[in-house]
A and B are shown apart, each in its own frame.
Chain A
């Protein structure tokens, strides 16, 4: 069994300040973890993924996430927010130990960026 908890449903930051979106997971197997972003009326886009290689993962648009097994966390960060970062972000875990990748999504965090 696997699950994902995004600890904040809404995060609001000012442009130019750091972004932190928190995610905790549980999985019976070694997980693959992803962050996807969804802009209004747009499809889901992959930001970054962790698949048991380096624990600090860099993604697109300056985002990065750190896999911490001891804390079962995979928080998403960005040093400096941009207006275009306003969107909904999903932390996702993928089934391991089997040959398929059924995704389990967190409930999403809506990021608002103020000028």
Chain B
């Protein structure tokens, strides 16, 4: 079956522009996660959605970052007024449930470069 998909695979943007990154989770998975992978910080949790519950935004680095999940499926991560330190690979993962012992299935990531 189809795995987690993300688009675009690569995005180059100018400093100060807004960007939107998209994630399509595995069908039927209720939990969706965003992570960021960068050279200096490794892999960091950003935000978590579980069903209709309020998202856990505790990992978002600043108020320039936001995310939404429409209809319990597709999610969009938005970065406003991008900065060079936002350059990273943004990974999306989904899981059948948001419990600690469930495997998370990762997408291929979106590589964001801010010039």
Chain A residues near B (Cβ < 8 Å): 31-32, 34, 36, 42-46, 49, 51-52, 90, 94-96, 98-108
B68-107 interface with A by 8 A CB criterion: 91, 93, 95, 98-104, 106-107
CB distance from B113 to the nearest CB of A (A): 15
B40-76 interface bits toward A, Cβ cutoff 8 Å, 1 = contact, 0 = none: 0011110010100000100100000000000000000
Complex CA gap A42/B43 in Å reads 15
Q: Which residues of A contact B99 (CB under 8 A)?
A: 99-101
Docked complex Cα distance between A44 and B48 (Å)? 18
> CA–CA, A34 to B100, complex, Å?
10
Is the beta-carbon distance between B42 and A98 smaller than 8 angstroms? no
Q: Count of B residues near A, CB < 8 Å?
A: 25
A51-B45 in contact (CB<8A): no
Q: Is B101 a contact of A102 with CB atoms below 8 Å? A: no
B residues in contact with A107, CB < 8 Å:
42
Classify the interface of chain B: helix, strand, loop or mixed. strand
Given A100-B31, A100-B50, A105-B42, answer yes or no on A94-B101 (Cβ-Cβ < 8 Å): yes
A102 close to B108 (CB less than 8 A): no
Whether the pair A32, B45 counts as a contact (CB closer than 8 A) is no
Cβ B100 vs Cβ A96 within 8 A: yes
With the chains together, A104 CA to B104 CA distance in Å? Answer: 12
Measured CB to CB, the closest approach of chain A to B82, in angstroms, equals 23
Is A102 touching B103 in the complex (CB atoms < 8 A)?
no
Give the residues in chain A near B33, CB-CB below 8 Å: 102-103
